[in-house]
Structure 1
Amino acid sequence: MVNKIAYQEIISELKSKSTTLVAVSKIKPASDIRELYDLGQRDFGENYVQELVQKQSELPADIQWHFIGHLQRNKVKYIAPFVHLIHGIDSIKLLEEVNKEGKKNNRVIDCLLQVHIAQEETKFGFDETDLSHFSDYFEIEKANLSHVRVRGLMGMASFSEDTELVRAEFGQLKQIFEIMKGSAFLGQSTFDTLSMGMSGDYQLAIDEGANMVRIGSLLFGRRA
């Protein structure tokens, strides 16, 4: 069951701050997605490739599907024909695989680089040293990466009730985003997306500069 009141409140809040809502619909049935779709929502996020492919085949074609989970290279081919934005590019090899599949499908696939900002070791992503190496690589190889477009960064803060810690981690990611946005090779106008913040911390993320948030449980309820 979708919380329609919460959806309308969140949409109103985000609209005033020019922030995009990605409704995280993983493990939820297509009927729940359809409810939000009928209210005007078009951006939906999924964590699992098989589930995303199934839902994409069942639901309206104008939905913009975001892949927000950890993506394995051997599964890129299944979502490459239609995915709107891949949030979790956490290695150069994965980016190259997305580029390869984009070429096969004659389309440019938009991506975000996932940055590790949390204290937990379980989170995936580039650290600041990795990003420096990525920048050097991208400057050399960008002509060969014509079927991917790096649109910005994504990160997840620590799962913590310490709001100052969470705020600091989001602030760190915003700093990195601004540095990369201003660099000579990534400084194109299409490097414009900072995806951070979920149901429990999205307001902190917006305060620190997020322009895309990923919200699930506030809309769809807790998952089993």
Structure 2
Amino acid sequence: MSTSWLVLPLSCCMALGLAAAFPQQGTYKTNDPLTALSQESTTEDNNVSSNNTITKLSLAKHDLLLDTLEILANQSTDILRISNDLIRNLIEELKAQPNRTTEIVKYIDRIDKALKSIEKIDFNAEEAPLEEIFASVDEIGDIFSDIDFMDDGDDSELLQAAFDRIGAESMDRKFNETMEHTLSELTKLFDDFAHSMSEVERQAEYQLVDWFERFQKEEDFEEKLGNLIDEFLTFFE
């Protein structure tokens, strides 16, 4: 069977860990994180100047991470909202099947548990519950990935028929729109940051600069929102 369009290209495991390390409660952003990078220290003390540059770069990177997590959280929220009705209908379809196997029952239980987790999330909270959002996206992604890689047989045919009946293919457009919007926001964020760096700062963060260039050149959106984002997040571990 093929439900590859349902396998979420964004892996949130690393973002989940970073969300825990950088909880929104108590974090702050500099007043002007990007332009702060291009400001030159007026002190004549080279050591102080160097320390100031490092501090500004560190603060700007901190803000860059927070902005990235916010964009990913918004995307993940959209994914969960789009998936909510889909998986609820899928559960009803599977429960209505008289020839459910033990394997199908296990999937019903997994999907039902994932749905309950989504329904517990307060999306209107003043501070987005990033850990809950990323964890739910990961779980939904794992479930659909397991379904996608099932061996051909009665179970896979039953699942495919259930997907067809609930009109799951129509969700593909909505998912793609979400991915495209996320990519647009990330690209602008990364471009602004990279262009604001001085030559000294670019040399200090040459690996990050190289990553910016590779992200810009990559044309596959799943690669961008998958492996490349995972790699980007390792710079902040």
For normalisation by structure 2, the TM-score amounts to 0.29
**Relative contact order, higher structure (CA 8 A, sep 6+):** 2
* Structure with greater strand share of residues: 1
For normalisation by structure 1, the TM-score amounts to 0.30
* Structure with greater helix share of residues: 2
Structure whose alpha-carbon radius of gyration is higher: 2
